[in-house]
Amino acid sequence: MTQLFMEPVQKFVTSAGRCIYTFPVLAFPSLVANIYVISDGGRVILVDCGSGMEQSNKDLLAGFTAIQETFGDPIGLADVDVIVITHGHMDHFGGLPFIRQHTGAPIGVHPLDRRVLSHYEERVVVAARQLETFLQRAGVSAESREAIMAMYLYAKGVYRSTPVQFSLEEEQAELVGVQPHHVPGHCPGQVCLQVDDILLTADHVLSRTTPHQAPESITNHMGLAHYLDSLARIERLEGVRLCLGGHEEPMADLPGRIQAIRQVHDSRLNRVLDICREPTSTADISRQLFGEVHSYHILLALEEAGAHVEYLYQRGELVAANLEEIEQEPNPVIRYQRV
Ligand SMILES: [Zn+2]
Ligand SMILES: [Zn+2]
């Protein structure tokens, strides 16, 4: 197994004197996620809770112990007053059934991700259908589709629906104690949380990785267009001194990081246009963009390629080149060509 370097617990203090503790959990064997605990000496807010996998839960408990031992702040899971989930991805909310055994604190998430947490089984069945259609139209072979769907459904089998007590909307800053900013794109209900002069960017902006994109045709309010709009939104925020992401390291230069992420998408969009001088399926575009990838990365690459193709198609820079086929078949492979 890959040995990942994990930071110990860290503490940041906001301009208003609030403490933000953060520690990593191993959400999946090769994915470290950051947990945040905000304390003003009275109210304690827990932001995200890991994947719910055994190691992730252990790391979560160890993180609270480390806060006590390192900083002498006697906070445990039972002291949490509010639980805020930054978005509906498993590495951020999957630990909810586990922490429910330790605290009855109300759980909040943006309304667009609420049903993912509270009606998970229904959501998986419906999302799987959408995904299958996408894969078919992308030109993924039947055999490969079956393998991808099995992987998708296996990874989703760990969580059990957990009731959500409140919707995390921007006007509720006072109730929650932090200012949510809705930034759809990476996930429909993605929020950044502003705590005085520190912004928890969750998976909207990360220090090293360009956050994953998937097409809106699979899930509404995702897709590159929403994401780029949301980047501009966060760029306009004033008074942000430091950003802390849902993974990876703290970021001092938010505008610089946003610029770098935009450049990655710009060059990827140009590459897609280049590839589509000849009619090309999304699966072939994905192969040309990302080369040979394995296991879950096959799906991630296809979604990423799909998001870029969709963005260009929406803007009329690509057209479907095989109209006759599309007309005749129920779920045809679409071949895109640049205009
Ligand atoms: Zn995410
Ligand atoms: Zn994540």
The pLDDT of residue 78: 96
Q: Which residues contact 183 (CB under 8 A, 6 or more apart)?
A: 190, 191, 192, 204, 230, 231, 233, 234
How many whole angstroms from 245 Cα to the centroid of ligand 2? 9
Ligand nearest to the CA of 28: 2
Query: According to the model, what pLDDT value does residue 331 have?
Result: 87
The reply to whether CATH 3.30.2010.10 applies to domain 10-119+161-252 is no
Cβ atoms 244, 299 nearer than 8 A: no
Distance from C-alpha of 26 to C-alpha of 56, rounded to nearest angstrom: 5
* Distance between Cα 310 and ligand 1 center (Å): 20
pTM above 0.85, yes or no: yes
pLDDT tens digits along 68-106: 999 999 999 999 999 999 999 999 999 999 999 999 999
Spell out, as residue ranges, where the chain has pLDDT lower than 50: 1-2
- Domain ranges across the chain: 10-119+161-252, 267-338
What local confidence, expressed as pLDDT, does residue 2 receive?
A: 46
- Give the per-residue pLDDT at 1: 43
Question: What's the pLDDT at 158?
Answer: 79
Q: How far is the CA of 90 from the centre of ligand 1 (A)?
A: 8
Q: Minimal CA–CA distance to 161: which of 192, 131, 117, 202?
A: 117
* Ligand lying nearest the CA atom of residue 187: 1
Please give the Cα distance from 225 to 59 (Å, whole number).
36
Cα 99 to averaged position of ligand 1 atoms, centre (Å): 20
CA 92 to ligand 2 center in whole angstroms: 6
Ligand in nearest proximity to the CA of 190 = 1
Which ligand is nearest the CA of 89, by number?
1
CA dist., res. 59 & res. 31, Å (int): 13
Domain 267-338 bears CATH identifier 1.10.10: yes
Q: How far is the CA of 192 from the centre of ligand 1 (A)?
A: 12
Q: Say which ligand is closest to the CA of 33.
A: 2
Number of Cβ within a 10 Å radius of residue 286 = 28
User: For residue range 268-311, what is the model confidence (pLDDT) as tens digits?
Assistant: 999 999 999 999 999 999 999 999 999 889 999 999 999 999 99
